[in-house]
Amino acid sequence: MSQPPPPPPNQPPQEGGSGAPQDPPPNGFGAPQSPPPGGFGAPQDPPPNGFGAPQGPPPGGFGAPQSPPPGGFGAPTPPQGNPPQSTPPQGTPPNPGYGYPQAPPPPQAPGTPPPTTPPQPYGYPQTQPPGQPGYGYPGQQPQYGYPQPTTMPLQPQAPGGGGRKLNAQLMIIVAAVLAIGLIVGGGVWYASTNSGDDKPDASGTSGGTGGDEGKGDTGKEAPDGGGSEKVPSSTSAKVLFQIPQPEVPDDEVWSVAGSWLTDKVYAKASLNEVIGYDPATGDEKWTMPLKGHTCAASPEITKDGVTVVISEPSKRSKTNKYPGCTEVTAFNLNTGKQLWTKSVGDGSEKAKFEEASITGTTVAVGAGLDGGAGFDLTTGKILWQPKVESCEDIGYRGGEQLVAVRKCGEFGEEKYEVQLLNPKDGSVQWTYKLPTGIDNAKVISTKPVVFGVDSDSDDPTSTGTSDIFSLDESGKLRIKIAMEDEKYDHDCGVGKVHDCKGIVVGNDKLYVPTRQHDGTKEFSRTNEVISFSLATGKTAGDRADAGDGYELFPIRMDGGDIIAYKQGPYDKGSEVVSINGGSFKQTKLLVTPATEQVRNAISSMVPRRSEMLYTDGRLFMGRDLISKPTSSLDAEKYTAVGFGAQ
């Protein structure tokens, strides 16, 4: 089934769409505002029967006794010794809320068989019916792309010989403890075992928890090594500058896509130009005119400070509102000097592009309706261009390697492939064919090659990825990870190949933010960043808690560490933190001012859609789409805001 075709370049998004620009609160900076309704930490509507009313967990919910896989994450060793003595229960307490470990059932009479094993806990791979091949695997592969779990015996031998089995009551207790261990290691929500508290541990103000006891205190380095970002002498940030947005006509949504950060320049695309600013003061250093509006930008920057922007061939007019994104321009970020501007095609039939990536000295552009093309970054020479044939490149992601998404076949019968290319000439090194019926792929990482798909284009997920594929160096499938909808909160754009935000790869793991849920404090909301092994597809036992009222969102990798943005509640500043890839301990790098004016300004920069850049104690948040203010109350809008450590 095919996805709907992408909208024309720079068309206004549908109301409420994920790509729609977010307006800042009325009056922008400096105007007193009321706390945003429903914001982080804002009171939420209580559940039926009021807060504290007993809530029954769903069938097979969190905490229900589970049969763990062998060596399940966090599963404790079954207790040895004589069965513990218990006192008669004093009434039945109400069940704790959904997401918390459940109390074991009341003791059963001797000889009563143990309870049957309920479904696997939330976030765990589900058992596949016998004889069904795993999705994306050849032949009879088990478990929807996951290794098949087996049942662990729950009848350990008592010490002292005789092979005496534990009684039914102890078996129930052991099963409940094992189930809690599985939740800690294998699910999205994790339960605290401290002091008998049945609420999830979401404090997270100073660190995270992993699969091993005390792991956060070991100082263990990540497999990919330590990061280069250092803690500033003061993490309290000040506003460096804010860039007011240009004028936009009524009922128009215009693109200002593109922002880059080096140690010398913060550059932001504007209408018909790119402007370079001093990252410390906001003073303009240079202005580079363009023929038309910007459409897209390469996220990669060479060591010499060279990058690429795609723009329209002329300024917009009443007779030509959408000229098309045909012009590819390479320029030096440090000086604002254009190196070259090229297009592909002849006259009015120029090919249109929506994405650009750099690998080595090659620029690859695509994600339009005309196929893909490659240019030499130094000279602008065309290395390859769209061809009229049964197959065409949809788009590319660059970086350490160049990966293409390719479409083959007649209309209505297209099949998609992921390919590793030689960036020098675009020749194919290997091809991985996607299962029939999948008509999209979003490349998350090029080394290792990791990409996501929405398996049902007629019912797309909110994140844009229902499944994540991990390939080895030869292009063969290592594992497929199911990303259940409404459980994770990254964002992969429709019709784009490298437009995934909030999901990053490092240390042979995939790091994703979970969807927000209730925190430990009344009315609070929070989330976590967790990891999946790219070798096994299972959760790797890592968890970084945002803390009550906060929301964590990965920005990028820093060596083996994760740089993440932590959106603050309505009465506190937001943060940038480094999450150690070995211990998962959080280190605070930057805290934005907690003033109402600043909170209101950055609240419009939604992390899932904003251009977020952090380097050396400076955070820049930018828009990619702008529109005219809807009233005099929000007359002041910004295309970018910068913060720096004091």
pLDDT in tens, 376-399: 999 999 999 987 677 899 999 999
Length of the chain: 646
Tens digits of per-residue pLDDT, 573-627? 999 999 999 999 999 999 999 998 898 888 778 888 889 999 999 999 999 999 8
Q: What is the CA radius of gyration of the chain?
A: 27
Check: CB of residue 639 under 8 Å from CB of residue 626: yes
The angle subtended at Cα 467 by Cα 463 and Cα 471, nearest 5°, is: 125
For the entire predicted model, the pTM comes to 0.68
Phi, psi of 154, deg, nearest 5: -110, 30
Coil, helix or strand at residue 429: strand
Task: Report which DSSP code applies to 488.
Answer: B
* Closest of 617, 540, 620, 568 to residue 205, by C-alpha: 568
pLDDT < 50: residue spans in the chain:
1-218
Rounded-to-5 percentages of helix, strand, coil across the chain: 5, 30, 65
User: Over the range 276-299, which residues count as b (16 or more CB within 10 Å of their CB) and which as e?
Assistant: bbebeeeeebbebebebbbbbbbb
| DSSP per-residue string spanning 389-424 | SSEEEEEEE-SSSEEEEEEESSTTS-EEEEEEE-TT
pLDDT at 198: 33
Contact call for residues 523 and 44 (beta carbons, < 8 A) = yes
- Three-state SS for 175? helix
Q: What is the pLDDT of residue 89?
A: 43
User: Shortest CA distance to 230 belongs to which of 578, 529, 557, 555?
Assistant: 578
Stretch (H or E) spanning 439: none
Structure tokens at 624: 């990619």
pLDDT of residue 470: 98
Parse the chain into domains and list their residue ranges: 63-84+94-188
Closest CA to 404 of 427, 379, 435, 381: 427
Per-residue pLDDT, 412: 79
Strand partners, 419: 404, 431
> What H or E segment, with its residue span, contains residue 640?
strand 638-645
In one-letter notation, the amino acid at residue 366 is G
The pLDDT value recorded for residue 483 is: 94
Q: What is the pLDDT of residue 634?
A: 62
Query: Which 8-state DSSP code applies to residue 179?
Result: H
* Whole-number pLDDT of residue 181: 42
